[in-house]
Amino acid sequence: MRFRQVHLDFHTSEAITPIGERFDKGQFQEMLQLGSVDSITVFSKCHHGWAYHPSEANEIHPGLSFDLLGAQIEAAHEIGVKTPVYLSAGLDEKLAIQHPEWLIRDKEDATNWVKGFMDPGYHVICFNTPYLDILLSQIAETLSRYDADGLFLDIVGVKSCYCHSCVATARREGIDPRNAEDMRPLWERTYANYTAKVKETVESVKPGLPIFHNGGHIKRGRRDLAWMNTHLELESLPTGGWGYDHFPLSARYAQTLGMEFLGMTGKFHTTWGEFGGYKHPNALRYEAALSIANGAKCSIGDQLPPNGQMDKATYALIGAAYREVESKEAWCTGTTNVADVAILSLEATGVHPKVKEEGVKSESDVGAIRMLLEGNFLFDVIDSEQNFSAYRVLILPDYVAVEDSLLEKLEAYLEQGGKLLATGWSGLDAEAESFVIDFGARLVGRNPYRPDYCRPLFKPGSLEEAAFIFYSQGQKIELQGGTELGRREDPYFNRDVYTFCSHQHTPNSETYGGPGIVKNENGIYIAWNVFDEYAEKGSLILKETVVHALKQLLPDITLDTTLPAQGVVTLQEQKAEKRLVNHLLYATPIRRGKSIEVIEDIIPLHNVEVSVRTDADVKGVYLAPQLTPLPYHFENGVVSYTVPELDCHQMVVIDYNE
């Protein structure tokens, strides 16, 4: 898989004609070279449903007079650039209009993406219809006629559907379509059948060709879905609503699966489908660096104008980022992540059954990833199938459902000396009546006060000693052999129509409400849903509480640094090269408009101190790609050094002997 890829959208309406009239082989090649691009995904079929080449399995776009796909592949291959080929699988507006009976429908018979045909937009097609055979014939034709280096299929996944085909299938099999849980196996089977048929088709034409089915999100805990691909492409456009903490969350899970993967961002100011939108070059520099720092290769989304001429401003922008990536590739291949901590993803485990009854939608995974990034911890995001023994601390964020099989794994992990950090509902039995894991406390029940106060019995980082407001729901506990690290203090009363005080919530009565944070030999339990609350409110005390807890559980932390909270630090190991690669990044996204995070100015940092604990025999430290030797001190298994300047991204390489 190549490091410097472009995903070249070309969703072009039949109302625009002619198209492609300004495509020029030389100009296409010149732009790829300007952008330092080594792979470009080009279009066989777009969301509108048109082919961009002569076709019997489809129809060529009415405004296109030549084989655009063939010309792009020939031009790219001539200069050593690979060409995966794109087909829109879930969307085909041309066929949607011809066969509305093939569209995915909800229970009210509304279509998916747009609710009908009087709104501009696309309609998703169900694979449990004759459309699947048409799509397979289009794939077979494209791969048999063109030298594709991969296949990218878009807008797919396990989708709820009540179209006539799905309802008829369900009734034929004795399934009640009115029951969504009964319907789910059919929807799962429909998607699995689609991916199997695609693989069968590809193998019959081009055995071993890379295949990726894009649904916009790699679901944590669904390895079966991930493995329906040959590799992963993590769609994560920070300015398109994902934000800058989305990619690390996805990447820190993806790398544990042992598959090659890309980090896919975009050159756009906003998101897909934007013409004339450009990021600041520093944003793409940072986003590309964030990919390689997390073990990924890079993909940047672009959109070809209808005239077929590549945009010079775009490829100058991409080139500024990709020339840096090109200089760093040697230190970013064949890497594994070094992690002290693992977040057991709530998305993977499912929420506690009592919480599920209440329909809670948690952002606990997001809150946890933010805290660990800001605290400069080395971590992975895992599912329950991962080997827990690889980590010194395992975080159970807020609502983790500890079923019997997971409990068995956790108990084995604790017996081997592992430590847990659990919060909120995590660690409670199915009825939320007691702990299934011993944290040195007894569960009394759900705390009757919300919000209430936590008084840490330690100095919380940069804050002073105080009683701090905790907004999230808490569990009321009593000590049972554990050590109290923080106490709960009750408000005078809950806010009510007859008992309220001030503008927001009731002040602290300083009445002792029991322990709020407790520690024993198994780990630490925090009685509030602190990660979900941090994702929503970002209160500093929440992070300082978790950071203190983790440092209690990690007395000999692998990596320590003075990098500020807005920085990102990872430690990747290249075992074949006998070296550790410490990635340090720093940029400060700001909010522009109502919801878009933008990186513009990058302020260099100076004299960032780092220490890395390792069992290896360190023989040298240097900056990469500069190859500048870096003074270091190595004693008692700890190598220490100072990075003189960090301008967006810096790698420090630690060479070691066998």
Is 80 exceeded by the pLDDT of residue 103?
Answer: yes
Whether CATH 1.10.357.10 fits 559-656: no
pLDDT score at 106: 94
Q: Which pTM does this prediction carry?
A: 0.95
C-alpha–C-alpha distance, residues 287 and 247, integer Å: 9
CA distance 530 to 532: 6
pLDDT digits (tens, 9 = 90+) for 398-452: 999 999 999 999 999 999 999 999 999 999 999 989 999 999 999 999 999 999 9
Instruction: In whole angstroms, give the CA distance from residue 111 to residue 122.
Output: 9
pLDDT in tens, 285-321: 999 999 999 999 999 999 999 999 999 999 999 999 9
Amino acid letter for position 529: N
pLDDT in tens, 205-234: 999 999 999 998 999 999 999 999 999 999
Instruction: Check residue 5 and give its pLDDT.
Output: 98
**Using alpha carbons only, what angle is made at residue 262 by residues 219 and 365, rounded to the nearest 5 degrees?**
35
The pLDDT assigned to 262 comes to 97
Homologous superfamily of 4-89+129-157+192-327 in CATH?
Answer: Glycosidases (3.20.20.80)
Element (H, E) at 52: none
**Which tokens belong to 152?**
């990218």
Fold exhibited by the domain 341-553: Rossmann fold (3.40.50)
Q: What does the pLDDT read at residue 221?
A: 95
Average pLDDT over residues 102-107: 96
In angstroms, the CA 71 to CA 603 distance is 43
- What are the residue ranges spanned by the domains of the chain? 4-89+129-157+192-327, 341-553, 559-656
> What DSSP assignment string belongs to 398-410?
SSB---HHHHHHH
DSSP state, 506? Answer: P
How many whole angstroms separate alpha carbon 263 and alpha carbon 5? 10
Q: Give per-residue pLDDT as tens, 18-32.
A: 999 999 999 999 999
Asked which of 297-311, 450-464, 589-603 is least confident by mean pLDDT, the reply is: 589-603
Q: Over the stretch 148-162, which tens digit does the pLDDT of each residue have?
A: 999 999 999 999 999
pLDDT tens figures, 43-69: 999 999 999 999 999 999 999 999 999
For residue 188, give both structure tokens: 């799962």
